[in-house]
Structure 1
């Protein structure tokens, strides 16, 4: 299986199927309560759309990354969260409705904001002069086809399918799309293994710092604004867990630059380390609190 076929054919299809599965999970109830608290939505969206790219630029200026690696890190900061962030919000007992709402807002905006801002980033990095271009409307169209259109299709199918059929099909779709995405990322990892940076490289440090600092930023701001614990956890996950699949698709398929796609691939693999550590810390804290309340 060639790397080109994996990245340019299979990855977009699998990514679209994952987004459709997310749409199958969306209901009006997911949004009704969340939209009564617009401050939480505004905070989470602002952190994702404004703060994350600035944080990524801070790391690019601070660390001696190559221009292609820097472009990959900046690309990660511009993509929305995905089904993975919703899964982590659920596991950590966060506000799932808020998580889904933030993912949906980012998925709606990303096809229009990503090609525009990434085009500027390529110019600032001096890569546009090397022949790298991100055609705006072409990129918008491709991103819509693998993000927003599948989500809307999933929501439409949810309304068409009966409750009984949905209850039967939804767990199977979740498992199938999850396995497919893991399979594609694993295949891409092995097909580009010789070109991937080592685990002790500056690129690995940049990826881990990006994830840890973005989660810390989301947690600290949401906590200091005294949002409910569940909302704090949802915002923490949404800011830290990015849809690396979208970033890889832009790099491999649209830009056709594997050198830019290696950092998003690395991010998709390594972001799980700090997220899982934080998740276990939160669950351990919850058990300790529950035990304290029982004793009192």
Structure 2
């Protein structure tokens, strides 16, 4: 299978399918339930403003090649996706907040990513080498694979009804999930010889971006005394980025595999710190539940 066909044709279609699936899970009441503007503003600010600054800090500190640096900065500009919502659910976070933050980012990112990424390419000196990201064509393509599928999914949810959706949605989730994993695996295989080794500066940069962004989101949310479920949702949303969107921009729009390799690496390696953190949270919850049970038994005696 041709790598160009994979990245420029199949990846955008599969990505749109994943985003439509997320839309099938959304209703207007999901946003109404998230009635805490402070939580929304905090999560959005961390994801849209602070995360790119954190990525620039890593680019300044680490001796990354220019294309790898561009890939890391690109990862910091994309929204979360269905993966972040899944992790919020698994870690028992505020799912409504997670979905709302993802949806807001999906609306904002198509307009902010081309602009900021264009500046990044200039700062890295890559624009002088002919690399550019045309603004409006990029906005249009990002809307077609992010916002439009989400809105289509929400519309289909209203049209299909609860009975059909209950039967259909689990199958669509499995199908789109398997398709996305398959595309990422195929891209990994087709670019395996060009991927950095696991003991590389690119791997360090990817892991640092994920760990530091999750730590930042967690600490800021805790310092502002948000509920524990909101803290967990914000932690996931800031740390788990939609690597599929970043890969699409790099491979299909910029047509620069050298930039797309870091998002590909991120999509694979981000699962390591996220799963470790998730299991830590669930282990603490179990300990807390055990202690509460013991105290209740003592109190009843």
**TM-score per shorter chain, which class?**
over 0.9
The answer to whether 1:99 aligns with 2:98 is yes
Name the residue aligned to 1:4: 4
Q: Using the alignment, how far apart are the partners of 1:181 and 1:190 within structure 2?
A: 14
- 1:146 Cα deviation after fit: 0.3
Cα offsets for 1:208-251 (capped at 9, x unmatched):
00000000000000001000000000000000000000000000
- Largest Rg, 1 or 2: 2
Corresponding residue number in structure 2 for 1:118: 117
Aligned residues: 295
- The residue that corresponds to 2:289 in the other structure is 290
- Please list, as runs of the form range in 1=range in 2, the aligned pairs for 1:1-296 lying within 5 A after superposition: 1-34=1-34, 36-296=35-295
Cα RMSD after superposing both structures: 0.4
The TM-score normalised by the length of structure 2 is 0.98
Q: What is the CA–CA distance in structure 2 between the aligned matches of 1:30 and 1:90, rounded to whole Å?
A: 14
Q: What is the CA–CA distance in structure 2 between the aligned matches of 1:107 and 1:29, rounded to whole Å?
A: 18
Shift of 1:290: 0.1
In 1: Cα distance, 2:110 partner to 2:97 partner: 21
State the shift of 1:28 in Å: 2.1
Shift of 1:29: 2.3
Structure 1 unaligned regions, length at least 5: none
Shift of 1:30: 1.2
Q: CA deviation at 1:168?
A: 0.5
Q: TM-score, normalised by structure 1?
A: 0.99
User: Alpha-carbon deviation of 1:27?
Assistant: 1.3
Q: Cα offset for 1:162?
A: 1.6
* CA distances 1:240-287 after superposition (whole Å, capped 9, x unpaired): 000000000000000000000000000000000000000000000000
In 1, Cα distance between equivalents of 2:28 and 2:110: 23
